[in-house]
Amino acid sequence: MSAKTVNRIATAVIVLVAAFIVLLLAGLLGYIIVRGFGHISWDFLTSAPETIKAGGGIGPQLFNSLFLLVLTMIITVPLGLGAGIYMSQYAKPGRLTDSIRLVVEVLSSFPSIVVGLFGLLVFVNLLGFGFSLFSGALALTVFNLPLMVRITEQALAGVPREQKEASLALGLSRWKTITSVMLPIAVPAIVTGTILASGRVFGEAAALLFTAGMSSPRLDFTDWNPFSPFSPLNPFRPAETLAVHIWKVNSEGLAPDAAEIAAGASAVLIIMVLLFNFTARWFGRALYRKFTATK
pLDDT in tens, 125-177: 999 998 999 999 999 998 888 888 888 888 888 888 888 888 888 887 888 88
- Does residue 41 carry a pLDDT above 60? yes
Predicted pLDDT at 74 = 92
- Residue 54's SS3 state is coil
- The DSSP code sequence of 64-116 is HHHHHHHHHHHHHHHHHHHHHHIIIIIPPSSHHHHHHHHHHHHHHTS-HHHHH
Q: 43-77 pLDDT, tens per residue?
A: 888 888 887 787 788 888 999 999 999 999 999 99
Mean pLDDT of the chain: 85
Q: 190-219 pLDDT, tens per residue?
A: 887 888 778 778 888 888 989 998 888 887
The length of the chain is: 295
d(CA 47, CA 161): 54
Cα angle 48-50-52, degrees, rounded to a multiple of 5:
175
- Residue 127's SS3 state is coil
d(CA 244, CA 209): 7
- Residue 56's SS3 state is coil
d(CA 12, CA 8): 6
- The confidence band for 248, taking pLDDT boundaries of 50, 70 and 90, is confident
d(CA 219, CA 27): 37
- The DSSP code sequence of 243-281 is HHHHHHHHHH--STTHHHHHHHHHHHHHHHHHHHHHHHH
- The confidence band for 293, taking pLDDT boundaries of 50, 70 and 90, is low
Q: Which of 70-84, 174-188, 235-249, 273-287 has the lowest mean pLDDT?
A: 273-287
Q: 181-197 pLDDT, tens per residue?
A: 888 888 888 887 888 77
d(CA 211, CA 134): 9
At the second CATH level, the architecture of 38-294 is Orthogonal Bundle (1.10)
Predicted pLDDT at 19 = 93
Q: 85-132 pLDDT, tens per residue?
A: 888 888 887 787 788 778 777 777 788 888 889 999 999 999 999 899
d(CA 12, CA 21): 14
- CA proximity to 264, closest of 106, 91, 49, 75: 49
d(CA 105, CA 124): 25
Predicted pLDDT at 165 = 81
pTM, two decimals, is 0.85
Alpha helices for 109-229 (secondary structure H): 112-119, 133-157, 161-169, 174-177, 183-202, 206-209
Residue pair 153/111 in contact (Cβ under 8 Å)? The answer is: no
d(CA 274, CA 53): 31
d(CA 139, CA 118): 8
* pLDDT, mean of residues 19-34: 91
Q: Where are the domains of the chain?
A: 38-294
- Does residue 254 carry a pLDDT above 80? no
